[in-house]
A and B are shown apart, each in its own frame.
Chain A
């Protein structure tokens, strides 16, 4: 009689399971009759299975946070390096511009100090000096 009841219950539950496709579980004592075909988990395995979703979720979140933190640190390092390089480039630019300005000023001062580039004056002066030198030499050696 008990076996028949179990079988009827099992059949009705199986048909329900097929209808709404949700999982089923039960706790079976030693030698107890199961209402449907299924998997029997002991208490350790049950605890493992029940805690598995939260474990995986938490693991995933932890790993995600860790990886995001690492990527953030990598990018921060890259930004820091770029900023440092940018600052150095600005300082180099200022230094080079300063040096070139001072060089230009020195060149301008030097050019002002040099003889003016009056080519006709120099030509005339050269001709006069040449004639004078020739005449002088002539006078000296004569």
Chain B
């Protein structure tokens, strides 16, 4: 230990300027390296945040498409129900008209006065009895 100190100290005393330069260069290099590492870290964080944002946007878009598909299905169901109801009501109406015609034919043979009144009510035509 003493031997090392005896050799190093005179060397340091003699070459203190060179040692200072080396230390200074090392400090500057260390600081630059630290800054670079910090920048790289920030870049990586930014990249990760943007990647997460892209994933989030993709997820939102997929959910939007899914919801729109559901809305379209519900629309199709509603239109189908409407069409079924329309057909059913039309059929009921046809049946009702058919019954009315039967009734009118019956009235024609059994109660002409009543039929005449009905025609008068519907068309406001004047009935002329024979």
Contact = CB atoms under 8 A, between A and B. Distances in A.
Interface string B34-77: 01001101100110011011001100110110011001101100
Contacts of B125: 22-25
Contacts, number: 159
B38 A114 contact: yes
A103 B60 contact: no
Contacts of B104: 43, 46-47, 50-51
User: For B52, B71, B116, which residue has the most chain A Cβ atoms within 10 angstroms?
Assistant: B71
Interface string A32-50: 1001100000011011101
Nearest to A90: B60
Interface secondary structure of B, over-half rule = helix
Interface in A65-96: 65-66, 69-70, 73-74, 76-77, 80-81, 84-85, 87-88, 91-92, 95-96
Contacts of B49: 99, 102-103, 106
Given A32-B130, A35-B130, 5 more contacts: A25-B126, A28-B130, A80-B74, A103-B45, A135-B17
Interface of B: 17-18, 20-21, 24, 28, 31, 35, 38-39, 41-42, 45-46, 49-50, 52-53, 56-57, 60-61, 63-64, 67-68, 71-72, 74-75, 78-79, 82-83, 85-86, 89-90, 93, 96-97, 100-102, 104-105, 108-109, 112, 115-116, 118-119, 122-130
